[in-house]
Amino acid sequence: MDDILQIFFQECDEQLQELEGGLSALSDGVSEHETVNAVFRAVHSIKGGAASFGLDNLVRFAHVFENALDGLRSERFAPTHDVVKIFLKAMDVLSDLVNEARGGAAVDPARVAESHAELADIGATGSQASTAPTAAGEDAIPADFSPVPMDFEPVPFDFDFGEEEEATPVASPLVVTFRPHDALYQRGDDARNILIGLADIAHACGGEIQTLCDRTTLPPLADLGVDTSYLSWRVVLPAEVAEESAQAVFDWVSDDCDFSIAREAPQVDPSMTDPSVADPSPEPDDARARPIEAPEAVSPVPAEDEHAAEPPRTTPIPAPLDLHAGAQSTTVRKPEQASIRVDLHRIDDLMDLVGELVIAQAAIESLSRRTDPAGQQELLQSIGSMQSLTRDIQDAVMAVRAQPVRAVFQRMQRVVREACSMTGKEIALTLEGEDTEVDRTLIEKLTDPLTHMLRNAVDHGIESTKARIAAGKPAEGRIVLSAEHRSGRILITIKDDGAGINRQRVFETAVKRGIVPADAALSDDEINNLIFMPGFSTASTVSDLSGRGVGMDVVRQAIQSLGGRITISSTPGRGTTFGFSLPLTLAILDGMLIAAGGSTMVIPIASVIETMIASRGDIYALPNGRNVISIRGDCMPLIPLATALKLPGAPSHNHPAAPPRDALDASVILVVENESGARAALIVDEIRDQTQVVIKSIESNYRQIFGVSAATILGDGSVSLILDVSALVASAIGQIDGKPSNIRAELAA
């Protein structure tokens, strides 16, 4: 059951994406019929699935949402800005209710009720959303969001609805009869959910249901099978309820339930206002509405027959129905098992490759028995194709894990929406490259940094509306969030058209906070990067959104922990662009195997610019004892790797000063570069190979080590360290120019 539930939640995620996309399109003025239909279908699907699992809170809200969308679909009103705003708000609530059902944080009932009331208002009046709730709206949605009392009582405002709906002043009540099959219960559904669904649609029309339970076929307890369904129901809904709405309640159970929906024979309206109608004694004349047992033969149990045939007590059930019980149970669900949905053809591709692998393995096995030179040659060739196959399989597996960034990008619409409402700014977020695919683990970890960055862009990046108008800009700010593949990495950019970074203020603040000395000569780029320093904040007041000076630092750490880097470019008055460059996967790395100090280590290929043999003439000694090397006119620090890592076998382990230039002649040099373009030359013992390595976290298995980002296990079973080039370069630069290395390291990173 939990598995099916997880599938439902995955589908919810997809439907919510669909909903977000559709509503965004509506918000942009695209009001094609198909867009509206897609939005409607998304909510309808969530409702249907939720009903199957007894997620009452979700069903109730989705239902009223669906009703309101139906008004849009049937063109009772237009998708005006206000209407779309209400739908967007409702979508956020719906999304939170899905999360709640999943075991996440409970949604504030007041928020649900507010959105519920707005939707009911739209749905009921079928007109432009009015800010002042109607009397009917208020009555229909009680503050505690409790559903309809089941006992029928004449409610005066029934007549209000009669006036609003132009349709049928003398329409007959809708009679729904249903008998669940055993299968309905077996698949985890319940008759209760159908009744709740019917109560909801009655409620949405401002009315209530009258329910009659038919116990005719209920055997005595001793003969009763616990998994067998015996009861059936007859439910009378207000005349205002459309047959399609009632039909929709059975959309997900039609295979497991006999049911009929029909208008009651035209009886005069007093019957609707007469409490005696609530009498379970049904009208026998609506035979077409009751293909199943006639409810009037109500009770097989003699003692109950009389009670059932009696009118119900005029005293209604004392408390309103609380249908939240199902939702309460969802809060203790076990944590979600992560899973992904994959296109079948990707699995097929993988399967094909595995087939080839099996063939290649058999070939190698057979060739390995041959001892002649030709056989050996073929064996080597087979091993070569096996390597190629392994690589293809790896790519195929990565393709299986790859997901478009759309899921996380669309979530950002909400982030910006909420940030805008808190700051009172008008900002449009444009998404580009949502189909760009990236490893699933990265997608999950992108949400927090992006949220932070976008909030920051709204709070600090984009100016107030007044300031924008004064600067001759459009009143509505614009943020573009885009993703693209570039050089085997994914590049995500957040570009705003705000005021840009005020570098002077940033620098002054950094000095005030003691982050940099007042006489530090920093480039524009370095000043920009100061905003990522711990404790830095230029906000004069701490706002709800940002201003605590921890956000950007956390963002940088998060991105770095993903093997990524952040770049900033900013033009005063024109805006700021942040770029995240991330690896496509966190699992595998292309690396260069090198030896230093007797150890084999891995350097990420992406960091290596070139390799060369050092020439004595290019090496210069600095007064502080360090060396630099000039490569085609560019000077960069020369770092003996073993010394920098303080490896036991390093020649100058006890002497921090660099080795003499002569000793470095003909050394093997790797020129490496960090994210900000700073370069250093690493001296290694030898370059052994180029290979792909599987990344294993060293921090979670051991502890953080300077200069080392992770570890891996090589083909011979030995553990090898993967070098953190950024840290090494930053440290080297700090030592060379004499600035505090920690600051330079922070800046360089």
Partner 1 sequence: MTADAETAPAHATTPLILPERLDSAAAGALKSLVEQAAATESALDASGVAYVGGLCLQILLASGRPLAAPSEKVREAFALFGVGEFLSEPSTSSSEPSA
Task: Return residues touching partner 1 (CB under 8 A).
Answer: 54, 149-151, 180, 185-186, 188, 190-192, 195-196, 199, 210-213, 215, 218-222, 224, 226-227, 229-231, 233, 235, 280, 301-304, 307-308, 310, 312-313, 316-323, 325-326, 328-329
Closest distance of CB 101 from partner 1, Å: 15
**Length of the chain measured in residues:** 749
Judged by beta carbon, residue 278 or residue 586, the one nearer partner 1 is 278
Residue 262 C-beta: closest distance to partner 1, Å:
18
Question: What residue type is assigned to position 449 of the chain?
Answer: P
CB of residue 334 to partner 1, shortest distance in Å: 15
Which H or E run contains 480? strand 477-486
Which of 402, 458, 406 shows the shortest CA–CA distance to 432?
406
Give the nearest distance from C-beta 270 to partner 1 in angstroms: 22
Q: How far is the CB of 399 from partner 1 (least distance, A)?
A: 40
Q: Which CB sits closer to partner 1, 151 or 269? A: 151
CB atoms within 10 A of CB 604: 21
Q: 54 vs 79, which CB is nearer to partner 1?
A: 54
Integer Cα distance of 402 and 494 in angstroms: 22
Q: How far is the CB of 483 from partner 1 (least distance, A)?
A: 44
Q: CB of residue 149 vs partner 1: minimum separation in angstroms?
A: 7
Closest distance to partner 1 from the beta carbon of 269 (Å): 22
Pick the closer one to partner 1 by CB: 215 or 414: 215
3-state helix, strand, coil in the chain (%, to 5): 45, 20, 35
Least CB distance from residue 141 to partner 1, whole Å? Answer: 18
Nearer to partner 1 by Cβ, of 192 and 333: the residue is 192
Instruction: Work out how close the CB of 260 gets to partner 1 at its nearest, in angstroms, rounded to a whole number.
Output: 17
Nearer to partner 1, 197 or 549 (CB): 197
Local structure of residue 579 (DSSP, 8 states): E
Least distance in angstroms from the C-beta of 318 to partner 1: 7
Q: Is 463 in contact with 471 (CB distance < 8 Å)?
A: yes
Pairing mode, if any, of strands 565-571 and 575-583? antiparallel
Count of other CB atoms within 10 angstroms of residue 23: 23
116 to 44, 122, 130: CA distances (angstroms)? 16, 10, 14
Cβ-based nearer residue to partner 1, 196 or 589 = 196
Q: How far is the CB of 336 from partner 1 (least distance, A)?
A: 21
Closest CB to partner 1 among 163 and 227? 227
Residue 532 is classified by DSSP as G
Residues contacting 649, CB < 8 A, separation 6+: 597, 598, 599, 642
- If the CB atoms of residues 74 and 329 are measured against partner 1, the closer one turns out to be 329
Produce one character per residue of 660-695: b if its CB has 16 or more CB atoms within 10 Å, e if not.
Answer: ebeebeebbbbbbbbbbebbbbbbbbebeeeeebeb
In contact, 650 and 642? CB cutoff 8 Å: yes
Of residues 149 and 579, the one with the C-beta less far from partner 1: 149
Closer CB to partner 1, 303 or 521, in the complex: 303
CB of residue 216 to partner 1, shortest distance in Å = 12
Q: Which residues contact 288 (CB under 8 A, 6 or more apart)?
A: 260, 262
For residues 522 and 56, what is the distance between their CA atoms, to the nearest angstrom? 59
CB 476 within 8 A of CB 428: yes
Residue 331 CB, nearest approach to partner 1 (Å): 13
Q: One-letter amino acid identity for 516?
A: V
Q: Is the dihedral of CA 336, 339, 340, 342 positive or negative?
A: negative
Q: Residues 704, 706, 709, 710: is their CA dihedral positive or negative?
A: negative
Cβ distance 67 to 204 under 8 Å? yes
Whether the Cβ atoms of residue 271 and residue 239 lie closer than 8 Å to each other: no
Helix (H, G, I), strand (E, B) or coil at 421: helix
Please tell me the distance from the alpha carbon of residue 410 to that of residue 20, in angstroms, as a whole number: 7
Closest to partner 1 by CB, 137 or 280: 280
86/253 with CB nearer partner 1:
253
What is the bridge-based pairing of β-strands 608-613 and 599-604? unpaired
Helices (H) and strands (E) in the chain, counts: 26, 22
- Rounded to an integer, what distance in angstroms lies between the CA atom of residue 685 and that of residue 682? 10
Q: Which residues lie across from 631 on neighbouring strands?
A: 634
**Beta partners for residue 628, in sequence order:** 620, 637
- Nearer to partner 1 by Cβ, of 276 and 690: the residue is 276
